[in-house]
Structure 1
Amino acid sequence: MPEGCTIIAHGPEVFDTGDIVTVSAALLPEEFIVAGVMARTAAEESGFPCRFNSRPPSHVIRHLPPGTDAWLLNRGKTPASGEEFGRIVASRCDRPVYHIECSSRTVYGWNGADTCHTEEAAHRLGFAVAYRTADVRAQDNCMREIRGCIPGEPVFVNGIVVGSATGNTAVLAPENGGLRAVSGITLKPHGIEKLLRNGPVNLRNAWCKSGPVRSQSAQVAERRNPSGRITVIDHAACDIYSQMDATTCGVVSIGDDTTAVCGHICAHLGIPIFGVTDGDADTVVDHSCCSGSVIVEVTEGRDDEKGLEIAETVPTAQCHWDHWVSTTLHNRRDIRIVRDAR
């Protein structure tokens, strides 16, 4: 393995377990690029020096300079799901992929990866070596297999929970502009509705996963300055980092799972949230939030409509978060407070 390479780190687990430190000491890369939203949160909490990129790992790899080796670091929830993740990434890349999979302590060489580099990295880490060729089943837009599921856990498509796994492989197919369950999954109609708001989904290119987005609790920081701008996140927690900046004093999150993820991410940044929910959460992450946060549940209708109605009251100019929250809650009978951290 050439020293001074770049490693794309995926998922919060490589930071939460300390894998990132072990790999850095053994392989001496020049830099780590963090791919993914929750991975960024874990990286920020760890204090490990990284460069952040919100795009999926395959996108990051495809935009590396020509001739650059692609090194991927991951810890799947099981060895099988870890290998499956590497297969999907490699099937979408235009070059060989070196995949360091910590769940099975294996360095995979995908699609003709150099054997000397693969074996040198495995030797330094004390990992096994395996060579694989990524198939093209993930590229078939007629059907999409989401492998490595654990029955009962949530299944995501493009960051939205669309159902619950009933088997080890959830299979989806397009149907009349929407999705249908082929096997291994029970669909959640409200989730499908939210997913399709922006039009039909291309299953070939969709980001799909199963299970919680992070198993470790958030590190809750002291609250930021209560005055600034309020950001609205509507069922798209993956957009949160791109929507916030140094002036953000609070986040209005619409949706149960979106509120859980936004609360978790904002907790370590010291940013309170105003979560609008309707009680259909899927336990995708622990429900952390910092002081100044309020989570409400709608008593009439659904969080979609009520959340957008509340979002319309958010000032475009800077304001005081506590004042806006108090004003929003005043004399409302269509919502009830389920968590109050003020």
Structure 2
Amino acid sequence: MNLVMVVHGPEAFDAGDVERLIGLLSPRQILVAGVMARTAAEESGLPVVCTDERPSVVLAALSGRACLVNRGKTPKSGRIFGEVVAGRLPGLVHVETSSETVYRWNRGDESLAEEIVRRTEYALVHAKSTGARCEGVREVRGCIPGEAVFVNGIVIGTATAETVVLSSRDGGLRAVSGLDPKPHGFEKLLRAGLPDLDAAWCKSGPVRTKPPRQAGRASRGGRIAVIDHCGHTLYQEIGEDVCGVLAVGDDTTAVCGHICSHAGIPVFGVVDGDADAIVEPGYAPGSVVVEVVDGRDDDIGRELAAVRDLDAARWEEWVEETLRILAGRVRIVLDLRGE
């Protein structure tokens, strides 16, 4: 078919969809979009190329036949995701495995859509995405009440409705409806400046439901990467020279622990007990997580990043000295140094 498959999210890998589609469609290339998708793809061992871009950007840069592959947490959320991506493109063929549907959005490649339907026996649906948005307003659709809502990788609250409406008018960011806000989350998000809601990465629900696979231990000495409430940037920071990660924030620590477990990189996590259970836990041997006794993880994290040497002869020694500095201010809630 001379096809490029752009895969979004980890679930398509974890459920075996990608492997099955490779057998049916014989794509010439598989591009992976998304942080947890990259982790799941690497664990799968399938021949893929990982990117740091969102699916619409990856697809827009391609010439020739291409399709989006996604497994939404529900068929409805899968369709909504495809509509959002299609709203940024002139046309799109979207393979939604949660409902076994091929969507031909906005008059996308008809022959490609029909060929995929023939080979997969999925249903074909012709659909239209208007892409119209109100300036300064963003809707996060397909939410399940009670699940976490993210903007640029930071949890800003809990969904109370299927649609969360956010507004960035008047120089601030606020929840208009559908969200029980997490003030500390808004504070973390705005610390980097007011986000462009039209371009922001917005999602809801867990980032991955499958536990990570353990890998062999990484180098015991080298650079320590600092990830402060931005777990989605982790892959940009970890290279062969990294022996460990200083993660600041409950959700960031969970995401870093999950990804680094697969990479064999230990994590020193600083948390304050407001986790949102967004990912299955997992940590590489040598990891330590401490909870702030009084105060916030932000303050301790910034202090450590400023005063600690981030080049370590040995990870274990760096951890010991860091714990000594924090004595009386934190308590250890996870300690895998003996593993």
Q: How does the TM-score come out when normalised to structure 2?
A: 0.96
Q: CA deviation at 1:318?
A: 4.5
Matched, 1:209 2:203: yes
The alignment partner of 1:312 has SS state of helix
One-letter amino acid of the counterpart of residue 136, structure 1: G
| Alpha carbons 2:159, 2:179 under 8 Å: kept | yes
| Alpha carbons 2:216, 2:264 under 8 Å: kept | yes
What is the aligned partner in structure 1 of residue 70 from structure 2?
74
Matched, 1:134 2:129: yes
Cα distance in 2 for partners of 1:11, 1:133 equals 23
Counterparts of residues 51-200 of structure 1 (less than 5 Å): 51-65=49-63, 68-93=64-89, 95-137=90-132, 139-200=133-194
Counterparts of residues 2-81 of structure 1 (less than 5 Å): 3-65=1-63, 68-81=64-77
Cα distance in 2 for partners of 1:89, 1:182 equals 23
Cα distance in 2 for partners of 1:237, 1:114 equals 36
| Alpha carbons 2:143, 2:161 under 8 Å: kept | yes
Cα distance in 2 for partners of 1:129, 1:85 equals 17
One-letter amino acid of the counterpart of residue 189, structure 2: L
Deviation readout 1:150-188 (Å, 9 max, x if unpaired): 110000011110110011111111244222222211111
One-letter amino acid of the counterpart of residue 131, structure 1: H
What is the aligned partner in structure 2 of residue 249 from structure 1?
243
Query: How many residues were matched structurally?
Result: 336
| Alpha carbons 1:16, 1:42 under 8 Å: kept | yes
Cα distance in 2 for partners of 1:302, 1:83 equals 39
| Alpha carbons 1:294, 1:339 under 8 Å: kept | yes
Cα distance in 1 for partners of 2:65, 2:208 equals 28
The alignment partner of 2:273 has SS state of coil
Cα distance in 1 for partners of 2:308, 2:125 equals 53
Cα distance in 1 for partners of 2:282, 2:310 equals 27
Deviation readout 1:246-304 (Å, 9 max, x if unpaired): 11110000000000000000001100000011111111102210110000011122111
What is the aligned partner in structure 2 of residue 281 from structure 1?
275
Deviation readout 1:296-332 (Å, 9 max, x if unpaired): 0111221111111112244244421000000010161
Q: Which runs of 5+ in 1 are unaligned?
A: none
One-letter amino acid of the counterpart of residue 284, structure 1: I
Deviation readout 1:105-161 (Å, 9 max, x if unpaired): 000111111322211101111100001111124x33332111111110000011110
The alignment partner of 1:195 has SS state of helix
| Alpha carbons 1:70, 1:96 under 8 Å: kept | no
Cα distance in 1 for partners of 2:279, 2:170 equals 32
Cα distance in 2 for partners of 1:217, 1:226 equals 24
| Alpha carbons 2:92, 2:109 under 8 Å: kept | no
| Alpha carbons 1:141, 1:202 under 8 Å: kept | no
| Alpha carbons 1:72, 1:99 under 8 Å: kept | yes
Instruction: Specify whether residues 319 and 178 from structure 1 end up closer, same or farther in structure 2 by C-alpha distance, changes over 3 A only.
Output: farther
Structure 1 segments, 4+ long, off by >6 Å, are none
What is the aligned partner in structure 2 of residue 266 from structure 1?
260
Deviation readout 1:20-69 (Å, 9 max, x if unpaired): 0111111111010000110000011111110010111011112224xx23
- Over the matched positions of the two proteins, sequence identity in percent amounts to 50
| Alpha carbons 2:257, 2:282 under 8 Å: kept | yes
Cα distance in 2 for partners of 1:132, 1:72 equals 15
The alignment partner of 2:180 has SS state of strand
Cα distance in 2 for partners of 1:59, 1:200 equals 22
Cα distance in 2 for partners of 1:272, 1:313 equals 20
| Alpha carbons 1:150, 1:167 under 8 Å: kept | yes
| Alpha carbons 2:154, 2:229 under 8 Å: kept | yes
Indicate the RMSD between aligned Cα atoms, in angstroms: 1.2
The alignment partner of 2:263 has SS state of coil
One-letter amino acid of the counterpart of residue 289, structure 2: I
Q: How does the TM-score come out when normalised to structure 1?
A: 0.95
Counterparts of residues 292-307 of structure 1 (less than 5 Å): 292-307=286-301
Which of the residues 217, 231, 255 maps onto 1:223? 217
